[in-house]
Structure formats: structure tokens, C-alpha cells
Amino acid sequence: MSISDWHRAEIKRLFFGEHWKVAAIAAHLGLHDDTVKRVVDIDSFSPPGRPRPSALDPYVDFMGSTLKQYPKLTATRLHQMLRARGCKVSAIQVRRRIRKDGLRPRPRSEAFFRLKVLPGEQAQVDWGYFGQIQVGRTLRKLWLFVMVLSWSRAFEVYFSLDQTMAAVMRGHLAAFRHFGGVARNSLYDNMKTVVIERVGDAIRFHSRLLELSGHYLFAPYPCAPGRGNEKGRVEVRIKDLRRSFFAGRRFVDLEDLQRQFVQWREEVAYQRRCPDALDLTVAQALELERQSLLPLPEHDIDCDDVRGTVARKQPYVIYDTNRYSIPHGLVGEPLTVAVGEHTVR
């Protein structure tokens, strides 16, 4: 029922000022009791009902202290711990009680400084997964190795069917050739092909990555665990590749995809403004940054994937599910397989 402002004021005066009862006010003004109750918000004056006891009540302190020590502990695991202590409740009840009582500590919001780098100082590296493609009669995973120069935002992509160390090295080599030089530092996610082992700040890099960095004179640095924001430039580039380049695109093979990528990069991505130098396009910023990059060595490093193997009974060796013939006299002998981008030796 809609009532006038005068009625609202009169109800409040009689209830709060004159201390009339609801029924008396309703009868005096010719209104329904519920209308008067709604105006004075009578429910706020009602004493709260006594909470019903719960089987979880004796365990609330234990739940709170456990979640304080292990904030990411799941409600399902906490339910198992409570059951082991004799509490017979469901996991749903545990989840509701955590939410109702606010037992799980909320993570504090972190503040991040904007990364500022000098030209030629840093490159960021990561892999991106881009679904599957048809290779012959087989579906293979498509991976993109992406390297971005942090100042100019220039980048290179290497399309690969695997994430082997050989593919990592070929991706580096393709990027160095495109940039015309090498950034002094390279920042990596903790990918297994780069970081073999890590305990805190103690890091053991892959021996071939150290060989690569020694040949091209750059320093490798891994991100801190769980700190993907440290390499935000390459993360943004991978998202851009998904949305602006790869979505809805058709291609015949990896070579065709590479040609289309180069055209898109030069005509679209490199015509955007450089965020650290808004008066320049990315292409113009790259030309300036090339002056600050380390020069390329006279000879490129060997990027072949070298593996040891033995042909047990048949004159074939197997690499990447394919069979390659060898002289029959080498059956049973220890062999070395060297696989380049287009050759198998």
C-alpha cells in the first residue's frame, strides 16, 4: 500500500514520540498494521532468536586456527580432518560455516610498481599453447615460443610442435635474428626446459641454456614462483596473439602460418604506439632499441636436438614417432641422433 509523506511522518511521531502501539496507530489513521510496521521498521526492534546449536560449534576454534595457518586448505580437506576428530557433519556444512563465520583469511591485495627498463636491457620469454593442428594423419599440439623486448615491445614468435630444449634454442635464435641483436637480460617463467631445479633462490639452469647464454652473452633470470606479473609484457603479447592474430585464421601448414604472422606483425602490431615512447610506433622504437642491443656473434650456435639411442633388432631408429632407416650393420650399436629443424642425422 502506498502512503503519503504526511502519513509516514505521523506514524513515526506517534510511535517514537508518543509511544503508541502499532495497532492503535493503525486504527487511528485507518491503515493496516503491516503498513505501520514497515514504516517504523519493527523487525529491527525484535530481539534476535536464539541460534540453534550446531555439531560444528566445538570445532570452530580448530577450523579458524587451521585456516589461519593454511589459508588455501580446501573445505573438503578440512572436513576430512574434522571427521577424524569425531565431528559427524557434511562437507557442505563445513563450507557454509567457513563462509558464514569468515574463518578463511582473505589475502591482502598487492601493489605492483610499473616496470621501467632501458632500451636493450631486457627481453621476456614464454610459451603459449594454441590448440591442435593436423600434421599428416595425426593431430599435434601447436606451441608458440614468444620473446618480447621490454622497452620497444618488438617481438618474435617461433611455431613449434613441442617444447623441447632444441625448440627453445631455435626460438631464441629466430628472435635474435629478427631483433638484429640480443638483450642483456632474459626473463623466463620457471619452464622445465630452462630451470632444472629450484630451491628458493638457488637455481640450476639447463646446461644448454647456459651454453646459449654464454654464446650470445645474455644473463638468464627466472621469475619468482607464482609471480607471473613480473613478465607481464610477454603475457599481454600472448593474449594479443590469441585474439588479434590467431582467432578465426586459416592456414595450410606451419610455414604458411609463419608467413601470415610476419605480415600481421608488420602491418598491425608494429604500427601501434610504443607504451614507453608514445611518439613512436613499435617499429620505430625497435630501430632505436637495436642500437642498444648486444651484437650477434659471427657464428650461430648449433640448435640440433642430440640424443643417444640403440637400434635393438631392426635397422631403424625412432624419433618423434617416426622411423628412420640406418645401415643394417649398426643394429645393436650405440648411436647418436642429431635432429635439426629440417634434417635427421
User: What is the per-residue pLDDT across 75-85, written as a single tens digit (0 to 9) for each?
Assistant: 899 999 998 98
Q: Which of 198, 199, 219 is nearest to 209 (CA)?
A: 219
Of 10-24, 285-299, 322-336, give the range with the top mean pLDDT.
285-299
Return the pLDDT at 44: 65
Residue 152's CB is within 10 A of a number of other CB atoms, namely 27
| Residue 203 φ then ψ, to 5° | -125, 135
Residue 60 has pLDDT above 60, yes or no: yes
pLDDT bucket at 281, cuts 50 / 70 / 90: very high
Residue 156's CB is within 10 A of a number of other CB atoms, namely 22
pLDDT bucket at 152, cuts 50 / 70 / 90: very high
Q: For 10-21, what is each residue's pLDDT tens digit?
A: 988 898 888 888
Of 170-184, 218-232, 295-309, give the range with the top mean pLDDT.
170-184
Residue 1 has pLDDT above 70, yes or no: no
- Torsion 262-267-269-275 (CA) sign: positive
| 8 Å CB contact between 216 and 182 | yes
Residue 240 has pLDDT above 90, yes or no: yes
Residue 221 has pLDDT above 90, yes or no: no
Residue 27 has pLDDT above 70, yes or no: yes
pTM of the model: 0.66
Residue 246 has pLDDT above 70, yes or no: yes
Q: Which three cell numbers stand for residue 304?
A: 640440433
Return the pLDDT at 284: 96
Tally the residues of the chain. Answer: 345
Residue 264 has pLDDT above 90, yes or no: yes
pLDDT bucket at 226, cuts 50 / 70 / 90: low
| 8 Å CB contact between 206 and 315 | no
Return the pLDDT at 173: 95
